[in-house]
Amino acid sequence: MEETKVQVMMKKEEDDAKVEIWKYVFGFTNMAVVKCAVELGIAEAVEEKGSPITLNELASFFKEVPTSQGSMAFQQTPLSRRLMRHGENNMAAFILLESSPVMLAPWHSLGTRVLANGTSAFDKAHGKDVWSYAAADAAHSKLINDAMACDTRLAMRAIIEGCPEVFDGIETLVDIGGNDGTTLRTLTKAFPRIRGINFDLPHVVCVAEKCHGVEHVGGDMFDGVPEADAAIIKWVLHDWGDDECIKILKNCKEAITKDKGKVIIVEAIIEEDDGVDNKFKSVRLMLDMVMMAHTNKGKERSLKEWDYVLRQAGFSRYNITSIHAVQSLIEAFP
């Protein structure tokens, strides 16, 4: 008897499932192999040689080309160069952070946050939150700072190239949660008139690299923020729940000048189709899961959720600009 369309579809779904399930069983191998490649310095080896290398294992990241002897070899691609530890586009430190035992352990306790009314999976795995852990472990703190610097270089370049007018008229700029100062080093180089204040926890800024035009200041953003014409805060607010975000934003609003001041927020916006670069949609959704695993109340926010925290913090208006990055740029005005 001839199969019906429904039966054919069900059979195809069953056949697809037989293959698809293995992606979940062994899905971790992609991360493990890439981490291994970073640790072994494979991308650097190819770059230093300056000619293709014959290693079949490189096929996923490197471009296959014929050699003069007729055999096949592999050379660098834009993706493989991101595995290098140095360079403007490198993401090696981010890979090493997220694949580290410290950051992987909470994923085994992810259900804790769902079932235990907000209890952090990171707390469950390590007995303290991610910030306390980093404060007590200098090596892990550096790994976090190096990883954040990877994304900062990409996001800041996207902002500087895509909407440099955001910084018009700003002479002093405080970076809230600025880690090692990469954001302000990049911005003061692009806009030499700007004097930067890199503001973060004392154990973070005490090891930050000195930079002309940038002052490193230690403190707690929940207690207050150094005064400046404007404030920039990148990938910090998604670490916190709404109440904490509102508190941080209120402190930022108090620190900036009332006439020309603004708070420049660099964060992801999810579930929005208008004005947001959707090539990164899946990354934004993955980040939301990362926040669930690594923070107490952190999350990625929709436009509606951003509107809520900004209004509650007392901002009168805001602009949103899509940039070629995971994040969007939000300018919030007093």
Residue-level pLDDT at 249: 97
- What tokens were used for 293? 């695993």
pLDDT tens-place values along the chain, 334 residues long: 567 877 778 888 887 777 787 777 777 788 888 888 888 788 887 787 777 765 554 555 656 566 666 666 667 778 878 888 887 778 889 989 999 999 999 999 888 777 766 678 999 999 999 999 999 999 999 999 999 998 999 999 999 999 999 999 999 999 999 999 999 999 999 999 999 999 999 999 998 889 999 999 999 999 999 999 999 999 999 999 999 999 999 999 999 998 889 999 999 998 755 445 578 888 898 899 899 899 988 999 999 999 999 999 999 999 999 998 899 999 999 9
HSE, side-chain direction, 13 A CA sphere, residue 41: 6
The dihedrals phi and psi of 311, each to the nearest 5 degrees, come to -65, -45
> Of 309, 161, 159, nearest to 245 (Cα)?
309
DSSP for 140-201 reads HHHHHHHHHHHHHHHHHHHHHHH-GGGGTT-SEEEEET-TTSHHHHHHHHHSTTPEEEEEE-
* pLDDT given at position 9: 81
CA dihedral 20, 25, 31, 33 (to 10 degrees): -100
Longest dimension (CA), the chain: 80
- Which of helix, strand or coil describes residue 57? helix
Q: Is 74 exposed, middle or buried (0-12, 13-18, 19+ CB in 10 A)?
A: buried
Cβ pair 256, 334 in contact under 8 A: yes
What gap in Å lies between CA 81 and CA 44, rounded to an integer?
Answer: 8
Residue 235 tokens, joined: 């990938």
Task: Give the strand order in the sheet containing 195-200.
Answer: 214-218, 195-200, 172-176, 230-234, 263-267, 328-333, 317-322
Q: Catalytic: which of 216, 272, 294, 300?
A: 300
Helix axis angle, 42-49 to 28-40, nearest 10°? 50
Is 267 in the active site?
yes
Of 216, 238, 272, 294, which one is the catalytic site residue? Answer: 238
Residue 271: what are its φ and ψ, rounded to 5°?
Answer: 65, 20
**What's the pTM?**
0.84
Q: Which of 20, 209, 267, 294 is catalytic?
A: 267
Instruction: Encode 215-280 in three state secondary structure.
Output: EEEECCCCCCCCCECEEEEECCHHHCCHHHHHHHHHHHHHHECCCCCCEEEEECEECCCCCCCHHH
Per-residue pLDDT, 291: 92
